[in-house]
């Protein structure tokens, strides 16, 4: 498969937990990385590999994978987490990168 | 601290070639990693354009492969993107990034390229 599928929009109440998912056949083989993008800014890496956070990323962000679905979980969402989130992985060949269509997260 | 900065013309005419450079500071390109380009049309999602390994091996998005060339200049510590025969559909913010096999970090701030006559 050459696609990664994300829900276009998700909302969460302030302080609650939200899961953003990314589905694709290649995720059976490869981990996803997750990027947060706020309006007018470049994307930043928040989680990659088997749940690894770059320095400076709060520990409320975590990643997981089950069969062909990768998930980004935000435990205790904050107002500043409102953003677009993109998953990224490889296609089944391993040579090419894919991005999901993005999920707009609204924190209520 | 690794930093990347894209530069190039903000306006390109249809059918011409888009040329961008990405200056890398704080890390030597020849030391390793993949280096790549990603773009984002206004109001839309991210699209991977291609990667180049520090040794020069390239990987391109199949949908763009016939028009894309990515190269590195280790003497200037920069990478370049050329996209030929552009159309309005190539209007986007273009980002460069340092890449590993499973992540892209950091990214440049991006540069908007508009294709218009």
Residue B113 backbone class (left: φ over 0; alpha: ψ -120 to 50; beta: rest): beta
- Cβ–Cβ under 8 Å, residues B2 and B26: yes
Nearest CA in chain A to B44: A101
Going by C-alpha positions, the residue among A13, A27, A38 that lies closest to residue A71 is A27
- d(C-alpha B6, C-alpha B94), whole Å: 8
Q: What is the pLDDT of residues B51-110, one digit of tens each?
A: 999 888 999 999 999 999 999 999 999 999 999 999 999 999 999 999 998 899 999 999
End-to-end alpha-carbon separation of chain B, Å? 39
Which residues lie below 8 Å from residue A83, measured CB to CB, with a gap of 6+?
Answer: A36, A37, A38, A104, A105
| DSSP secondary structure, A74-97, as one string | ESS--GGG-EEEEEEEE-TTSSSE
- d(C-alpha A38, C-alpha A22), whole Å: 19
Residue A54 backbone class (left: φ over 0; alpha: ψ -120 to 50; beta: rest): beta
**Strands B58-60 and B111-115, bridge-based pairing:** unpaired
Chosen for mutation from B60, B105, B108, B109 (greatest number of chain A CBs closer than 10 Å) is B105
Going by C-alpha positions, the residue among B88, B68, B82, B81 that lies closest to residue B108 is B81
Look up residue A23 and give its two tokens. Answer: 């589905």
**Residue B43 pLDDT > 80, yes or no?**
yes
Task: Measure B95 CA to nearest chain A CA, in Å.
Answer: 8
Q: What is the pLDDT of residues A6-57, one digit of tens each?
A: 999 999 999 999 999 999 999 999 999 999 999 999 999 999 999 999 999 9
B96–A contact, CB cutoff 8 A: no
Q: How confident is residue B32, by pLDDT bands cut at 50, 70 and 90?
A: confident
- d(C-alpha B57, C-alpha A48), whole Å: 24
**What does DSSP assign to residue A30?**
S
**Strands A103-107 and A9-12, bridge-based pairing:** parallel
Q: What is the pLDDT of residue A13?
A: 98
Q: What is the pLDDT of residues A64-79, one digit of tens each?
A: 999 999 999 999 999 9
Residues of A whose CB is below 8 A from B106: 44-45
A61–B contact, CB cutoff 8 A: no
């Amino acid at each position: 498969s050459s696609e990664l599928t994300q829900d276009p929009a998700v909302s969460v109440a302030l302080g609650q937990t939200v899961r953003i998912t990314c589905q694709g056949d290649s995720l059976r083989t490869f981990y996803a990385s997750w990027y947060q993008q706020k309006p007018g800014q470049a994307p930043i890496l928040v989680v990659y590999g088997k749940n690894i956070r770059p320095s400076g990323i709060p520990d409320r962000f975590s990643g997981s994978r089950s069969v062909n679905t990768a998930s980004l979980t935000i435990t205790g969402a904050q107002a500043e987490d409102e953003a677009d989130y993109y998953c990224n992985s490889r296609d089944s060949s391993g040579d090419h990168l894919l991005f999901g269509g993005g999920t707009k997260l609204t924190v209520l | 601290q690794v930093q990347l900065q894209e530069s190039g013309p903000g306006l390109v005419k249809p059918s011409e070639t888009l040329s961008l450079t990405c200056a890398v500071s704080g890390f030597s390109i020849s030391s390793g990693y993949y280096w790549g380009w990603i773009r984002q049309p206004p109001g839309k999602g991210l699209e991977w354009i291609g990667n180049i390994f520090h040794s020069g091996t390239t990987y391109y998005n199949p949908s763009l492969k016939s028009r894309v060339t990515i190269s590195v200049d280790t003497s200037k510590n920069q990478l370049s993107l050329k996209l030929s025969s552009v159309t309005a559909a190539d209007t986007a913010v273009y980002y460069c990034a340092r890449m590993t096999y499973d992540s892209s970090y950091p990214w440049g701030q991006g540069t908007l390229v508009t294709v218009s006559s």
